[in-house]
Structures are given as C-alpha cells and as structure tokens.
Amino acid sequence: MQRALRFLTLPRLLGLFVFLFCLVAVQNYLLGFGNYNNYLMFAKPFHNLLINKSIYGLHPNLYDDNYKYSPTFAWLMGPFYYMPNLLGMILWNLLNTVVLLAGVWFYLSDEKDPAKQRRVALLIIILEALITAQNLQSNNLIVGAMLLGLYHLRNERVWQAAFFFVLCLFIKFYGVAAAGFFLFYPKKPQFILAMVVWTALFAMAPLTMIPLDNLLAEYKEWFNVIVVSKLGLQVSVMGIAQAWFGMAKTDSNYRIIEAIGATLFLLPFLRFGLWKDRLFQRRMVAYFLLFMIVFNKMAESPTYVMAVTGVALWWVTLENPSRLDQILLGLVIVFTSLSPTDIFPQVVQKQFFQPYNIKALPCLLVWARVQYQIWTQPGSVSEVQTFA
C-alpha cells in the first residue's frame, strides 16, 4: 500500500483521475441505456428548446425520469446534444474531472506546500469522485466550480468568482451558497453587483432560442419541480434519525433538523474577529461542504464527493493530526467512500450499510470535530474585546 501511494505522484494522480473517469463513461455506454440515463437527461432537453417545447415533464423518447434542472443548464448542454452518446459521455466526465481538479489545484495554491496538499486532498477525494463519475452526475463539476469561485474570491477577482457561483446556481442551486463567503473578503459591493449581472445573463441565455413568455413559464415550472421533487435516499442526518431513532418522515421533522444544522453552521460566523484569519476561513469552507450534504434531505451516495472534499480540505489544515483526527479520516475512507464498493459483500451493504445510512455517519463525526476546532481556535484581540 505504501509503495502504491509513493508511486502516485501528483502528475500521475492527475492522469489517473482523467483516465479512470473517462473509462467509467465508456463502461456505462457498453453496459447499455439504463446505465447512462443521467447523461441523456442532461444532454437531450436541448432538443425541446430547439422545437420550443417544455423541457419539463416526461419525454420517454429522449430519456427516463423528470428533468429537474434549469432551462439555462439545458441551454449550456447544447454541444453535448449534437455529439454521439459515447463521445458526449466521455467529454462530460472529462469536463467534470477537469473542473474538480482545477478547483482543488487553485484553492490549495497558497498552502505552505501546495503540491503535497493537493496530492493528499485528491487521494482522499478520488473514491467519492469516481462514484459520481460512474453515475455520470454533475457533482464533481459543482464542487470544483465552488472551489474555483472561492479561489477567485480570495484573490479579489469578484467577477470570476461570481461566474462560478452563478454557474452552480443554474445547475444545482444549493451550490451558490458558497457565495456567502464573500463576507470574509473585500470588494463586497462589487461582488454583489457581479452576482446580479451574471445571474441575469445566465437566466436570459435561453432567450436565444425561445420567447420570453415561454422562458418565464419554464422557470416557473422549474420552481414547481424543485418544490414537489421526491426525497432522495436521505443519506444524511435525516436518514440516520429515521433508521436509528425511528423519527417519522414528516416535513416538520425535516425542517427541525435543517434548522438545527443551519443554526450550528451559522453560529461560528459570530466570531467576527477571526473573519480575516486564514485558518478560520479554511475550516469554515470545509465545515460548509460537510454541512451541505450531511444536513441535506436529498443527499444520496453520488453527492458525497462534496462532503468528502470538505473532509480533505479539513485534513490539510491539520499541521499535527491527533489520533482522533486520524481515526475519523480512516472512518471516512472505509465507511463513507469504500462502503458502496465491492470490497464489502452485498449482504452487508443491503442489510447494514444502506438501511442504517452508515455512509453518512463518519462525515457527521468529522463535521462535529471541525465545529469543535472552529470554536476552540484562539480568537484575536479584537474578538476578545467584542465579547468582553
């Protein structure tokens, strides 16, 4: 194992990402239509834009299931509509992979030893990112775009930062929440203006193909689809509460858990004196990525690349990881990233891991650990004076 890790230098690791993630696209294509419906649901709604027909509702001639994304995303996927499915799937996974790698690469660019930190982070992330790639999902792109946005925000390039955050908004809208970290950085009015301008431009992009009235109707339908969407597998605190403690599956119970999670996430922002502290900022980003999935009632296995990226970014903030930190990372690798794989027998997965949402538990524990480290981080003089 140690020899294999030494062999995976950073350039080789980057190459492995690209090779594996393109390979699983080919594998899905060879396994048949049922294994790449997710890709078709991304690429084929553009057909309905071409003929000025609603992209929502069932379109069995194009793909199965309901399209749950924005009209702008359907417009952005136009180039893939014209490609043969195999080529499109390979390039789709390649795009997701490149954005993820770029996000990690640039976000960690100002570390003391960026090459080492990038390698460590990508080694932690690779298994979860591969699960997303196998499902031809967009989560690798989303987490990469969030990190690119945070990188540009940190360097006061507000227009570039806003572009990536708004891109997330029109693919999976909760990704735009990363824009909230603009509070830590200067040029706040300029950033807000950039967000407004990019949002307007992205929103109006489909006007190049359909009339305004139709586009407004599509956005209304998109909102309705989001509101009435069926719950995911709830690989999250919600799922743990149901499986372990018998919590009823009701909206009120979900709202209570979401409110508790949101309150716990927001409270550290009260440490105003640490807003400019580099370590605090890094921890809060890791904390945010974990929170987005662990307290998400729609969470399922392919979304966990976001949470595990949070784990990776937390890990690289630790100069001297404690024994507890090491145990938590081990739990994430074994029970979050490896639990859905063939390393564990199907009977264990179906009768233990899946029913009890074991995949979510290590990330929840890391989330609690990060919270403890955030609150115990020494404050600045200004913060002490604020609370004195």
**Do 164 and 225 have their domain in common?**
yes
Residue 317 CB partners (closer than 8 Å, separation 6+): 279, 282, 283, 286
Label residue 384 by pLDDT band (50, 70, 90). Answer: very low
DSSP state of 236: S
**Do 244 and 210 have their domain in common?**
no
Tens-digit pLDDT profile for residues 297-347: 888 888 999 999 999 999 999 999 999 999 999 999 999 999 888 888 889
* pLDDT for residue 385: 44
Cα distances (Å, whole numbers) of residue 192 to 147, 149, 177, 187, 223: 18, 14, 13, 9, 23
**Do 222 and 291 have their domain in common?**
no
92 has pLDDT over 50: yes
**Do 59 and 172 have their domain in common?**
yes
**Do 120 and 169 have their domain in common?**
yes
**Do 155 and 37 have their domain in common?**
yes
The residue-averaged pLDDT of 108-130 equals 94
Query: Residue 128 class from Cβ within 10 Å (0-12 exposed, 13-18 middle, 19+ buried)?
Result: buried
**Farthest CA pair distance, the chain:** 66
Tens-digit pLDDT profile for residues 239-289: 899 889 888 888 888 889 999 999 999 999 999 999 999 999 999 999 999
Given 214, 229, 244, the domain boundary residue is: 229
Given 212, 229, 246, the domain boundary residue is: 229
DSSP state of 303: G
DSSP state of 300: -
Given 229, 256, 277, the domain boundary residue is: 229
Query: Residue 208 class from Cβ within 10 Å (0-12 exposed, 13-18 middle, 19+ buried)?
Result: exposed
* pLDDT for residue 284: 97
**Would you say 178 and 143 are in contact if contact means Cβ atoms under 8 Å apart?**
no
**Do 225 and 254 have their domain in common?**
no
**Do 387 and 355 have their domain in common?**
yes
**Do 309 and 281 have their domain in common?**
yes
31 has pLDDT over 60: yes
14 has pLDDT over 60: yes
**Do 142 and 196 have their domain in common?**
yes
Helix (H, G, I), strand (E, B) or coil at 160: helix
Query: Residue 8 class from Cβ within 10 Å (0-12 exposed, 13-18 middle, 19+ buried)?
Result: middle
Label residue 195 by pLDDT band (50, 70, 90). Answer: very high
**Do 81 and 68 have their domain in common?**
yes
The residue-averaged pLDDT of 20-46 equals 93
* pLDDT for residue 196: 97
The domain of 272 spans 230-388
What percentage of the chain has pLDDT greater than the value 70? 95
Number of domains in the chain: 2
Tens-digit pLDDT profile for residues 199-210: 999 999 999 999
Distance from C-alpha of 198 to C-alpha of 216, rounded to nearest angstrom: 18
